[in-house]
Amino acid sequence: MSFSKLIEREILFGNPERVCVRLSPDGKYLTYIAPYQGVLNIWIAPLDNIKEAFAITQDEKRGIHTYNWAFDSKTLLYMKDQDGNENWQLFSVDAQTRQHKCLTPQSNIQARIEKLSASFPQELLVAINDRDPTYHDLYKLNIQTGEKVLIFKNEAYSGYICDENLELKLLTQETSGGGSAWFHFECGKITFFQEVPVEDRLTTAPLRFNKEGSKLYFIDSRGRDTGGLFEFNFATGTQALIGGDSRTDISDIMVSPVTKKIEAYAITYGRKEWIFCDEKIAEELKSFQTIKEGDIEVLSRTLNDQHWIVGFIKDNGPLHYYHYDRHQKQRTFLFSNRPNLENMPLVKMRPTIIKARDGLDLMCYLSLPKDSEKPSQPLPLVLFVHGGPSARDYWGYEPIPQWLANRGYAVLSVNYRGSTGFGKNFLNAGNGEWGQKMHEDLLDAIQWVIDRKIADPQKVAIMGGSYGGYATLVGLTFTPDIFACGIDIVGPSNLVTLVESIPPYWKPYLAALKVTIGADFDTIEGKEFLEKRSPIHYANQIKKPLLICHGANDPRVKQAESDQIVNKMAEKNIPVTYVLYPDEGHGLTRPENRLSFFGIAEAFLSQNLGGRKQPLGPSDFKSSSFQVKAGKEIIADLENYVAEQS
């Protein structure tokens, strides 16, 4: 059997060359995130001469991963936490003076940018839980001086929607039944607006106000299955449907930076599709389809809407960025996010609908080695399970499926019941089904690829992060004969201790979590229900190799979730390999840590499924904080490498 070129892990899991490309509101500058001395930082250049780019930030540790331009066109805003603890602080840097400032200097708080407005370029609205860790108060913050003024003292509300005048307009509150209530805020008075039942909570959400603050745009699934895009007129009290789809919820909107009107909305079933409300925008984007293959995304626009950054998204190639001057009708290729992927043997991610045993349609994505429609013989399979579970898998370039397919594995990603984006009926079909029907969906999808001779039933691995890590533990405990091995990344093992240790700012959502997870965990009966769904209590049934990864500072799924099951397995003399990262949180952010873990995971999969591997070497562990807390001797390549180094 012939093999395609081995793609080095550094290419797949190292830093991108350029990403998160933005235009300053006045169009003078182009910015992006790129490595500076090996760490992701913000770079800036004149739009007409990007070769003059320089790093305007110099973070030396975890890097900067997202940022915004303030509307003064000279200030960049970005967030940083401490080693993955998600206590986000807001920072600014002046594009002209390069002066840095921490705008929320309090420790152990979490800041959230709520609203930026071109009408008030020196100010923004920020929510901070500095008074009460459970609730975020709303402040107006002066970007230049750092002075902040309390706008709303919050003792009950979970979210804000503010208008272009930086005025609070809408408050959301979680209800005792797990739904939410919306309140209109006007002249300091709070009045009830609308109620969202628990079954619609994740498919109904306020989005934004129009320019005048007289109309609210929102997603609504009440009275229907999927979340459609609606407009509510406060003057008339009427609600109108803008658009929707019977298969899927609205997944995105496109808003004019000039008029603040909605120009298009997107639906995402297998792939993302845009439906246009503005014909001029539609024609301009259609013209882009003639120059390159891929799904088109408008990523940044200037305030006068003359300049755009447009991205071409592919599943088997890097993201290509273009600058589009709408006045000159000129399209200029800028760069791609990972140019070293250009000539690599990447494969397609194939949207595939698989029927669950009770008839539900599961939108799945299948990636195969050598990009074949069907392999000549059954392959080892890696089931890659998304987190959430209130999230979903998408079509596009993803490093993990590409890595696995390149090593010779079939890769299957399943949007199991409880995933978002497919309407409330599909979403709510997952309520109370952790480890049960949600797991059966995964098993049904595996059986589908086995029946079609795509996968070898003796060589199936399960792997995932967060809920995907929980699904891995469920797979190896509840159905131990199905899987050849499993990789759990930051997954909970004990649902009782999981819900007892959530961050304080998640407490408003506890009633909704009870509905989703299927038990009132404040009662004895509810705790007993969660115990039955917790892999920790079935650890003695694990008989296949297990690799566990955790970040010590994870605020969502505490390190104790992995410690517990590792300790339980040790009591039962069941082998397990456990890798801990002291400077990570809910996932691996530092590329040095990603390279070390996926190097270990590759050796683990090769040992248990027989796929190809790139040998472990010093470059995989350079500057990584990894600690092998248990079971280094189980993975031969890891034991040999550690022995060589010592």
Q: What is the mean pLDDT of residues 130-151?
A: 96
Please report the pLDDT score of residue 640 as a whole number: 83
| Active-site position among 73, 300, 419, 466 | 466
Model confidence at 584, in pLDDT bands (50, 70, 90)?
A: very high
pLDDT digits (tens, 9 = 90+) for 499-524: 999 999 999 999 999 999 999 999 99
Kindly report, residue by residue over 209-240, the tens digit of the pLDDT.
999 999 999 999 999 999 999 999 999 999 99
pLDDT the model gives residue 105: 95
Per-residue pLDDT at 645: 61
Position 1 scores a pLDDT of 47
Distance from C-alpha of 254 to C-alpha of 73, rounded to nearest angstrom: 21
Cα-Cα end-to-end distance for the chain: 38
Spell out the residues 6+ positions from residue 643 whose beta carbon is closer than 8 angstroms to its own: none
The Cα angle at residue 45 between residues 44 and 47, in degrees rounded to 5: 125
Residue 4 is a catalytic residue = no
pTM summary value: 0.97
Among 586, 596, 606, 620, which one carries the catalytic annotation?
Answer: 586
Looking up tokens 């995933």 gives: 419
pLDDT at 343 over 60: yes
For the chain, the average pLDDT equals 96
Please report, for the chain, the start and end positions of each structural domain, with discontinuous segments joined by +.
17-155, 350-494+539-645
What is the spatial distance between Cα 175 and Cα 330, in angstroms, rounded to a whole number?
51
CB 571 within 8 A of CB 541: no
Active site residue 184: no
CATH number of 17-155: 2.120.10.30
pLDDT per position as a tens digit, 377-411: 999 999 999 999 999 999 999 999 999 999 999 99
What is 350-494+539-645's CATH number? 3.40.50.1820
Please check the confidence at residue 373 and state whether its pLDDT lies above 90: no
117 is catalytic: no
pLDDT of residue 643: 66
Structure tokens at 128: 């901070």
* CA 128 to chain CA mean position, Å: 22
pLDDT exceeding 70 applies to what percent of the chain?
99
Structure tokens of 284? 């301009």
Candidate list 200, 393, 441, 554, residue with the active-site label: 554
